Each structure stands twice: as structure tokens, then as C-alpha cells.
């Protein structure tokens, strides 16, 4: 299984990084974890084919994590003329938020008759969803975004990738990350405590309890980026756009 960092930036363009999007190529499936506004740009830059993606798992309903669906759908309709079904999983209200965003930016684009089945599935805390050969279990976290936010534990082909989504430290992260081959952790700040986001100093303290084999730090603000050389734990990687990780 191969994970490609399409975008590991925050909502503010810190470090010139693209917004959150991870592409996973598993033996039988290709899928995305989050789809920030710049996801299609990043995929085109990296030569990743949107047509091969069969599902998109959204952590929470902030624009830097889900609004790329708007451009994704117009590309699927007008450019690739997609016929393959697409499943999107997300918090309660994901479909309505997508329709609102799409109609604001490209009127008519959400109601157009598509050539492919578009299916939305909503999360319930702790309840696993099977999509194709992928099993995703959502765990509620703490990050106000107009709908419940989630960490995701994604299992396929005997491997596990977990993602914190955006959140301050919550105990549910331990269950989401435990034993994972890779835990992608939002690390917005370096050492100054922040509401609704984590810092490197907090994550560092929890590494043993999280129990993931490797941890990938993402969603870093300018202060965290300036201090990234202070991350020296051998289990921890600092994300870069375009980075590829074998899992």
C-alpha cells in the first residue's frame, strides 16, 4: 500500500503547501483521505489519476478538508466524463454542505445529471463502514466545524492508516491510532497550547500511548514549520507535499 501526500498544508497556505489531501493506493482500491480545495491541482501535479479513485473519506466539514469535492465533480463531469461510481463518507450533512458549496461556486453543478452514481454515507462514532475493500471507523474529536468532526481509522489489505483530522488532543485518538501502520497527526502548532488543534509538544508526550508504528505530522502552521528540525523521534515523519510512503 502506498500513501502519497497530495497536500499537507493548513487553511492559511502556510509554507506554500496545498490543502489537506492524502491519496492511498491499496491493492484493490485507490481512495482519498480528505479533499481540500487544491486537491485536484495536487493530483494533476503528481500524475495521480482521479478516475482511479473510488472513494473519498472526509474527516470534517471545513473548506480546507472537503471543498475540493466541488472541483472534483466538475472535472469528473466535463473532463473525464466519469461513469464509475464514487462513494463519499463524511460527517452528518456532508452532502448538503457539498451542494451548498458547489452551487455557490459553479451554479447548476450540484444538480446536473451525472453519468456516475454518487453516494454519500454519514458517520456514526465508533461504527465501521465498509466501502469496497476498505473499512473505515470514525471516532469523534474536538474541532467545531458545523458538524461533528472525526478521526478516521482506515483498514484495508491487512494494513491500517489512521488520521486525526483537525482536533485538539482527545482520548479517542488513542483508539483511532493504536497499532496503526501509520497515524497521520495534525500538528498545527509547535509548543504554544492552541484550542481545537494540537502541538508537537502535546503529540510527543502521547507517542507511546498512541501506539502507532509511524506518525506523520501534517497541517503545520508557520511556527511549527520553522521548528520542524526539532522533531527527532525516529517514529515520526514530517509531511511534505508529494511525499510517498510505503505502508
Chain centroid to Cα 132, Å, comes to 18
Chain centroid to Cα 179, Å, comes to 19
The CB-of-143 to Zn ion minimum distance in angstroms stands at 5
Nearer to Zn ion, 72 or 163 (CB): 163
Nearer to Zn ion, 17 or 62 (CB): 62
Nearer to Zn ion, 1 or 173 (CB): 173
Nearer to Zn ion, 181 or 218 (CB): 218
- The footprint of Zn ion on this chain (CB under 5 A) covers a number of residues equal to 4
The CB-of-47 to Zn ion minimum distance in angstroms stands at 25
The CB-of-57 to Zn ion minimum distance in angstroms stands at 15
Long-range contacts of 189-194 (CB under 8 A, 24+ apart): 189/221, 189/223, 189/224, 190/223, 190/224, 190/226, 190/227, 190/230, 191/227, 192/223, 194/168
Q: Are strands 244-246 and 2-7 parallel, antiparallel or unpaired?
A: antiparallel
CA-CA distance, 188 to 200, in Å (whole number)? 8
Nearer to Zn ion, 10 or 155 (CB): 10
- Residue 69: phi, psi to the nearest 5? -60, -30
- Reading the block at residue 230, the C-alpha cell is 526539532
Nearer to Zn ion, 60 or 82 (CB): 60
Write out the binding residues for Zn ion, residues 9-68 only, by CB under 5 A: 11, 62, 64
Question: Is 166 among the residues that bind Zn ion (CB under 5 A)?
Answer: yes
Residue pair 66/37 in contact (Cβ under 8 Å)? The answer is no
The CB-of-140 to Zn ion minimum distance in angstroms stands at 14
Question: Is 155 among the residues that bind Zn ion (CB under 5 A)?
Answer: no
Residue 125 DSSP code: T
The CB-of-16 to Zn ion minimum distance in angstroms stands at 16
Q: Which stretch binds Zn ion (CB under 5 A): 77-85, 132-140, 165-173, 208-216?
A: 165-173
Write out the binding residues for Zn ion, residues 182-241 only, by CB under 5 A: none
Residue of 53, 64, 142 whose CA lies nearest to 101 = 64
Chain positions contacting Zn ion, by CB under 5 A: 11, 62, 64, 166
Amino acid at each position: 500500500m502506498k500513501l502519497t501526500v497530495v497536500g499537507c498544508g493548513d487553511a492559511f497556505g502556510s509554507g506554500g503547501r496545498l490543502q489537506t489531501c492524502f491519496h492511498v493506493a491499496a491493492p484493490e482500491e485507490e481512495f482519498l483521505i480528505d479533499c481540500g480545495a487544491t486537491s485536484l491541482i495536487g493530483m494533476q501535479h503528481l500524475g495521480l489519476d482521479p478516475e482511479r479513485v473510488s472513494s473519498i473519506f472526509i474527516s470534517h466539514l471545513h473548506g480546507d478538508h472537503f471543498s475540493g469535492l466541488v472541483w472534483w465533480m466538475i472535472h469528473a463531469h466535463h473532463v473525464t466524463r466519469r461513469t464509475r461510481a464514487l462513494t463519499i463518507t463524511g460527517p452528518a450533512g456532508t452532502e448538503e454542505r457539498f451542494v451548498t458549496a458547489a452551487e455557490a461556486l459553479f451554479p447548476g453543478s450540484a444538480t446536473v445529471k451525472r453519468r456516475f452514481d454518487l453516494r454519500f454515507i454519514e458517520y456514526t462514532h465508533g461504527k465501521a463502514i465498509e466501502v469496497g475493500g476498505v473499512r473505515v471507523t470514525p471516532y469523534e474529536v474536538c474541532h467545531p466545524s458545523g458538524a461533528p468532526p472525526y478521526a478516521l481509522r482506515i483498514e484495508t489489505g491487512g494494513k491500517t492508516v489512521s488520521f486525526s483530522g483537525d482536533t485538539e488532543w482527545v482520548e479517542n485518538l488513542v483508539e483511532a491510532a493504536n497499532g496503526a501502520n501509520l497515524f497521520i497527526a495534525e500538528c498545527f502548532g509547535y509548543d504554544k497550547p492552541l484550542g481545537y488543534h494540537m502541538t508537537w509538544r502535546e503529540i510527543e508526550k502521547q507517542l507511546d500511548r498512541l501506539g502507532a508504528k509511524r506518525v506523520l505530522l501534517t497541517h503545520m502552521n508557520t511556527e511549527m514549520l520553522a521548528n520542524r528540525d526539532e522533531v527527532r523521534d525516529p517514529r515520526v515523519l514530517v509531511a511534505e507535499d508529494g511525499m510517498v510512503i510505503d505502508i
